Amino acid sequence: MAEGRETVFTIEATPLSFGAGAVADAGWHLQRLGVRRALLVTDPGVVAAGHVESVRDSITAAGIELTVYDQVRIEPTLTSIEQAAEFAREARPDGFVSVGGGSVIDTAKVACLLASHPGSAMDFINQPIGAGRQPPGPLLPHLAIPTTAGTGSEATTVAVLDLPELKVKTGISHRYLRPAQGIVDPELTATLGPEVTASTGLDVVCHAAESYISRPFDARPRPASPDQRPPYQGSNPVADVWSARALELGGQYLRRAVADPADLEARGMMMLAASMAGVGFGSAGVHIPHACAYPIAGLKHAYQPPGYPTDHPFVPHGHSVIVTAPAAFNFTYEADPARHHHAARLLGAAPGPGAGEHGPPDGGPTGGGAGPAGTGLPKGPAALPGVLIELMRAVGAPNGIAELGYAEADIPDLVEGAFKQQRLLAIAPREPTPAALSQILHDSLRNW
Please check whether residues 178 and 29 belong to one and the same domain. Answer: yes
The pLDDT value given to residue 350: 59
Residue 40 has φ and ψ, to the nearest 5°, of -95, 125
The pLDDT value given to residue 150: 86
Question: Is 169 domain-assigned?
Answer: yes
The pLDDT value given to residue 349: 64
CA 35, distance to chain mean position in Å, is 27
The pLDDT value given to residue 228: 85
The pLDDT value given to residue 352: 58
Q: pLDDT per residue over 100-115, tens digit each?
A: 999 999 999 999 999 9
The pLDDT value given to residue 364: 32
The pLDDT value given to residue 359: 37
C-alpha gyration radius of the chain: 20
Angstrom distances, CA of residue 121 to CA of 158, 161, 297, 423: 13, 10, 20, 18
Please check whether residues 148 and 77 belong to one and the same domain. Answer: yes
Please check whether residues 288 and 437 belong to one and the same domain. Answer: yes
Please check whether residues 174 and 228 belong to one and the same domain. Answer: no
The pLDDT value given to residue 272: 94
Nearest Cα neighbor of 322 from 384, 397, 408, 263 is 397
Please check whether residues 294 and 372 belong to one and the same domain. Answer: yes
Please check whether residues 158 and 237 belong to one and the same domain. Answer: no
Please check whether residues 313 and 396 belong to one and the same domain. Answer: yes
Question: Is 375 domain-assigned?
Answer: yes
Please check whether residues 378 and 283 belong to one and the same domain. Answer: yes
Q: Which stretches of the chain score pLDDT less than 50?
A: 1, 355-375
The pLDDT value given to residue 373: 39
The pLDDT value given to residue 151: 86
The pLDDT value given to residue 363: 30
Q: How many domains in the chain?
A: 2
Separation between Cα atoms, residue 145 and residue 98, nearest integer Å: 6
Separation between Cα atoms, residue 335 and residue 352, nearest integer Å: 31
State which H helix or E strand residue 171 sits in: strand 168-173
Please check whether residues 80 and 121 belong to one and the same domain. Answer: yes
Please check whether residues 289 and 171 belong to one and the same domain. Answer: no
The pLDDT value given to residue 357: 41
Question: Is 107 domain-assigned?
Answer: yes
Please check whether residues 53 and 153 belong to one and the same domain. Answer: yes
Question: Is 274 domain-assigned?
Answer: yes
Task: Pick the last residue of a domain from 154, 184, 214.
Answer: 184
Task: Pick the last residue of a domain from 184, 217, 240.
Answer: 184
Question: Is 206 domain-assigned?
Answer: yes
Task: Pick the last residue of a domain from 184, 218, 253.
Answer: 184
Please check whether residues 425 and 407 belong to one and the same domain. Answer: yes
Separation between Cα atoms, residue 80 and residue 374, nearest integer Å: 46
Its domain, for residue 344, covers 193-443
Secondary structure (H, E, C), 42-83: CCHHHHHCCHHHHHHHHHHHCCCEEEEECCCCCCCEHHHHHH
| 416: CATH | 1.20.1090.10
| 45: CATH | 3.40.50.1970
